[in-house]
Amino acid sequence: MLYAAVGLTALSVLLLELALTRIFSVVFYYHFAFLAISIALFGMGVGGVFAYAFRSFRALGWVALATSAMVVVALKAVLEPYAELTNARLAVVYLASALPFITSGIILSTALSEQVKRINRLYFADLAGASLGCLLLVPLLNQFGAPAALLIVAGLFAASAVLWFKQSGARIWPAITVLLVVAGVAIQNQQARWFDVKAAKGVPLTD
């Protein structure tokens, strides 16, 4: 269960980072795709600093649920139309996008540091999950598009929360509830398009 939770978290992080590069390159400019990489490095680093405050797997379950919500918040912030790309706008996007990386950094740093005796297997699970995330990215983008892919990532973080709660012996119904809500939003979004690219480089898009 622990290895699956670590692997699923790593998978979700890689999908989040790479899908953001796709959205940044469309919504802003192509060179802003690299901004997602710096956001990921910054967020994971900050998360590692605060990992000392989270010592139980149950706490990691709640952090994973918070990460699921933060992915949706980040997606909303990035897709918000703008007339001019100001420093304030970039700051909002940067901070909103960094939040899920900070919390996922807390999860991975805590799991690896608290289970030193199993570090070899945990690190393998981490790398395997990240590799699988890279492999899944292109099919997800081709089939659903980047915004929908990020909603799927939010669902994956909620699914990882289920595993963290099970690992700790805690009740899993909060994670199941969030997972079902995110899944419902993702399904309805295919028609309602609540989360979709509606402007590129400050220019509204028309169907």
Task: Write out the DSSP string of 117-176.
Answer: GGHHHHHHHHHHHHHHHHHHHHHHHHHH-HHHHHHHHHHHHHHHHHHHHHHHT---HHHH
pLDDT level of residue 192 (50, 70, 90 thresholds)? confident
Q: In the prediction, which pLDDT does 28 show?
A: 84
Encode pLDDT of 127-156 as tens digits: 999 999 999 999 999 999 999 999 999 999
Which amino acid appears at position 148 of this protein?
A: A
pLDDT of 157 above 70: yes
Q: At what angle do helices 2-27 and 33-50 cross, to 10 degrees?
A: 140
Q: Which position has the higher pLDDT, 180 or 191?
A: 180
Q: In the prediction, which pLDDT does 87 show?
A: 86
Mean local confidence (pLDDT), 21-46: 87
pLDDT of 107 above 60: yes
